[in-house]
């Protein structure tokens, strides 16, 4: 069967790979001059690093299995993440989503004695308390108290997932937590049991997550798939029992089957002439600035793998990743790489970026010590949509024989995207 996949991000490439293995004659067309969408590299200080997504969740094993199948070596992150308050940085709880697995966790130093006592009540509380909670926030409030949510969990939810604990579904980020509480008797003990084996919760291919994209493209080409970037699709037409796909440079492709792995706005535009009228969900914007610095104090990794900013009174950035500390392969002799995340409305100058990096790391960086700087903006970050809405969107396209995949449907994150692609029947 001839199949055209429109979109060369992770969703499009993985779907094309699965269909090619199943015997389909597959063509992939990507509008951008590069593959991967938000999984792409940028060079800073002579080092290629991830400009967008940098790791995948280990849960489920789907991403790890794909990397193994493609011959990619993988590794977990190194270093302890921190949370930055106006009085300095403190270690993040060594647990799950900012929830500690012990009363001795150094992260609890941000709590007052009264707040720590409230958190400790979890150990003697009825395990059934919070059993009806659907979100991380609801569960933690019931068992640990408001202060634990705002000071320990809130910065993690906002910094990692760009949402609040009350909008973070347990089924999506910690599906086994309720069962662990029932088995262990408390939330703290449940977290300790989940962290007992100390295996990383995230990992990436050594060399950067963008290596996964490059490996998929290489494998597709080896298998004989027709893949081409810088080939935007202008419109689609019905053609007999299939579709005719037109590119901006005059190419016409015939397809018995069609998969749209494009952003929501593009999918909506391409479907409209075929009689499928959908509304694109809203999107978020985010901005990252990556810098390379030769300041020797950074080699001591003063904030471990980085910091999430809990109090932005004195700083513009919302997070800093010490990329070359977190992923040691990126360390180059005498050069350290930092990645700062900014809210969509903040457009920092070079001096402001250096000031933020200095404040968050506790290392005074001179302008002359910043040997590389790259600013990357992502203007179409998908937002989470309800399952019923997702199913409706998918079914409307399926009525005319088109499959929809991508983060705008299944949520951000490599694992979510890969799992969503599995519904495309080979």
Q: What is the CATH number of the domain that holds 301?
A: 3.90.660.20
Q: Are residues 100 and 189 in the same domain?
A: yes
Our measurement of the distance from residue 382's CA atom to the centroid of its chain's CA atoms, rounded to an integer in Å, reads 11
At residue 363, the pLDDT reads 97
Q: Are residues 373 and 274 in the same domain?
A: no
Q: Starting at the edge strand that comes first in sequence, how are the strands of the sheet with 226-228 ordered?
A: 226-228, 25-29, 2-6, 257-260, 402-404
CB distance 215 to 70 below 8 Å: yes
The rounded average pLDDT for each run of 10 residues, N- to C-terminus, in the chain (426 residues) is: 96 98 97 96 95 92 97 96 88 93 95 97 97 97 97 90 90 91 97 84 95 98 98 94 95 96 97 95 91 97 94 86 97 94 92 97 97 93 89 96 96 93 91
**Which residues span the domain enclosing 368?**
55-92+199-207+283-381
Domain end point (choices 169, 194, 219): 194
Domains contained in the chain, number = 3
At residue 131, the pLDDT reads 96
Q: Are residues 132 and 269 in the same domain?
A: no
At residue 384, the pLDDT reads 80
pTM beyond 0.75 = yes
Does residue 168 belong to any structural domain of this protein?
Answer: yes
Q: Which two tokens stand for residue 77?
A: 């992150």
Does residue 426 belong to any structural domain of this protein?
Answer: no
At residue 190, the pLDDT reads 96
At residue 74, the pLDDT reads 97
Q: Which two tokens stand for residue 82?
A: 């921190």
In angstroms, rounded to a whole number, what is the distance separating the alpha carbons of residues 223 and 354? 46
In angstroms, rounded to a whole number, what is the distance separating the alpha carbons of residues 29 and 6? 5
At residue 329, the pLDDT reads 95
Q: Are residues 142 and 252 in the same domain?
A: no
CATH of the domain at 129: 1.10.3110.10
Does residue 6 belong to any structural domain of this protein?
Answer: yes
CATH of the domain at 411: 3.50.50.60
Torsion angles phi and psi, residue 389, rounded to 5: -65, -45
């Amino acid at each position: 069967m001839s199949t055209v996949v429109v979109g060369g991000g992770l969703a499009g490439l993985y779907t094309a790979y699965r269909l090619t293995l199943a015997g389909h004659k597959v063509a992939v067309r990507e509008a951008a001059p590069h593959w991967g969408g938000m999984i792409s590299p940028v060079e800073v200080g002579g080092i290629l690093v991830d400009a967008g997504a940098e790791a995948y969740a280990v849960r489920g094993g789907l991403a790890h299995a794909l990397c193994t199948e493609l011959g990619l070596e993988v590794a977990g992150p190194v270093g302890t993440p921190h949370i930055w308050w106006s009085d300095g940085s403190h270690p993040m709880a060594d647990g799950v989503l900012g929830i500690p697995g012990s009363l001795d966790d150094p992260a609890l130093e941000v709590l007052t004695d009264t707040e720590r006592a409230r958190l400790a009540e979890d150990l003697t509380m009825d395990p059934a308390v919070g059993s009806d909670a659907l979100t991380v926030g609801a569960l933690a409030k019931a068992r640990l108290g408001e202060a634990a949510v705002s000071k320990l969990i809130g910065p993690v939810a906002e910094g990692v997932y760009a949402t609040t604990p009350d909008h973070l579904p347990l089924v999506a980020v910690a599906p086994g937590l309720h069962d662990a509480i029932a088995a262990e008797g408390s939330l703290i003990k449940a977290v300790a049991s989940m962290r007992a084996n100390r295996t990383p919760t995230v990992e990436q291919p050594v060399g950067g997550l963008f290596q996964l994209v490059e490996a998929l493209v290489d494998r597709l080409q080896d298998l004989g798939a027709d893949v081409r970037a810088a080939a935007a699709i202008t419109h689609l037409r019905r053609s007999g029992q299939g579709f005719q796909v037109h590119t901006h440079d005059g190419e016409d492709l015939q397809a018995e089957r069609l998969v749209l792995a494009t952003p929501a706005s593009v999918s909506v535009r391409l479907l409209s002439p075929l009689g499928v009228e959908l509304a694109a969900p809203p999107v978020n914007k985010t901005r990252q600035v990556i810098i390379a610095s030769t300041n020797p104090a950074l080699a001591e990794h003063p904030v471990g793998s980085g910091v999430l900013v809990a109090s932005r009174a004195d700083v513009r950035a919302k997070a800093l990743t010490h990329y070359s500390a977190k992923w040691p392969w990126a360390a180059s002799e005498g050069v350290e790489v930092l990645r700062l995340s900014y809210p969509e409305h903040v457009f920092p100058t070079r001096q402001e970026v250096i000031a933020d990096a200095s404040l968050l790391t506790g290392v005074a960086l001179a302008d002359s010590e910043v040997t590389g700087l790259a600013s990357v903006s992502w203007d179409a970050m998908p937002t989470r949509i309800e399952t019923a809405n997702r199913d409706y969107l998918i079914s409307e396209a399926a009525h005319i024989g088109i499959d929809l995949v991508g983060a705008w449907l299944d949520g951000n994150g490599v694992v979510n995207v890969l799992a969503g692609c599995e519904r495309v029947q080979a």
